[in-house]
Chains A and B, each alone.
Chain A
Amino acid sequence: MVPLSWYLALSAVLFTVGVIGVLIQRNVISLFMCIELMLNAVNLSLVTFSRLHGNVTGQLFVFIVMAVAAAEAAVGLAIIIALFRSRETLNVDEADLLKL
């Protein structure tokens, strides 16, 4: 059996990579994918703790997270389409209409 801390370490690495992706990417779709990456890292740690306690609750949380991620992806991509229609760009730096 692999030590469960390895799974947590992998989860930490994936989450950190997602955070860095949000910092260095400027394309709004790529930013969105980095957020999905972070959600998946958290899912991995939830499943790991579920295995640690021999309890299925963590996996139920993962299921709910997946439902929320699906809803978020649908609404977010619709917003991206609307943004592209009005601004003709996907660069997040260009979408600064509210900025003074």
Chain B
Amino acid sequence: MGSSFRALPQGRATDTLFDNIMEFSHILFLGFAALAVVAAFNVILQRNPIYSAIGLIVVLCSLAALFLTLGAQFIAAMQIIVYAGAIMVLFVFVIMLLNVRAEETRIDKQKYLKWLAAPLFLALLAEVMAVVRQVNLTPRPLESANVVTNPENVLGTVENIANGMFTYYVIPFEAASVLILMAIVGSMLLARRERQEDVERIEKALAGQQEEEEEKYKEEVAA
């Protein structure tokens, strides 16, 4: 047991401590997590929906970055393309279409909800944190995220996702496509403005029906 043996572990210990505190992934996580939480509070506290939408976009983008640190490359790309791209554009489009101003006259019928919000926030948070503490989390390390050297260790590539989605989970995939088709048809039907001639035709038909019924009723009474 020479002193040289003892010097090495000590050096290693400070190294790992340094790694634990200042590791790059920690900085990455803390930065994006803080950004996400601040932007989430921005979403719920803004009065003007357009600012809420911008906060939500920031949340979505920082979550995409966190997905990357978890080895979910494809999902991160989808998060940006589908969520921050398509869905949020839809939101902003509707906000601008309806020309919503910040809520001018706030006739709040449910004021008690606001006082309920803070205790509920703390209670729900404590509950979920208690559950999180009980879960014993020791991740199986992914040795490398390099597709070229050892592809089997990469988790969320397009290839892996596609392997799962088009073999074992093909039925949910098809069900999702049918759902989206129904959503397209349904949203067009719901948001369509009724044309004036259609309205007149329907009203005429209804009036005709009413007259017919009245005539029938009169005949019945006469009989």
* A60 vs B173: C-alpha distance when bound (angstroms): 9
Name A's interface SS: helix
Task: Mark B150-170 against chain A: 1 for CB-CB distance below 8 A, else 0.
Answer: 000001100011011100010
List the one stretch of B6-14, B80-88, B197-205, B208-216 in contact with chain A. B80-88
Q: How many of A's residues come within 8 Å of B, CB to CB?
A: 70
Using Cβ atoms and an 8 Å threshold, which residues of chain B touch A51? 70-72, 139, 142, 155
Known: A19-B124, A34-B43, A62-B75. A82 touches B83 (CB 8 A): no
Using Cβ atoms and an 8 Å threshold, which residues of chain A touch B25? 1-2
* A53 vs B138: C-alpha distance when bound (angstroms): 9
- B33, closest chain A residue (CB): A10
CB distance from A43 to the nearest CB of B (A): 7
- B127, closest chain A residue (CB): A12
Q: How many of B's residues come within 8 Å of A, CB to CB?
A: 89
Using Cβ atoms and an 8 Å threshold, which residues of chain B touch A84? 98
- A85, closest chain B residue (CB): B193
Instruction: Identify which of A2, A13, A54 contacts B142 (C-beta below 8 A).
Output: A54
Instruction: Identify which of B46, B173, B180, B186 contacts A78 (C-beta below 8 A).
Output: B186
- In the A-B complex, list the 6 residue pairs whose CB atoms are closest, starting with the nearest: A21-B44, A71-B183, A12-B128, A78-B187, A78-B190, A78-B191
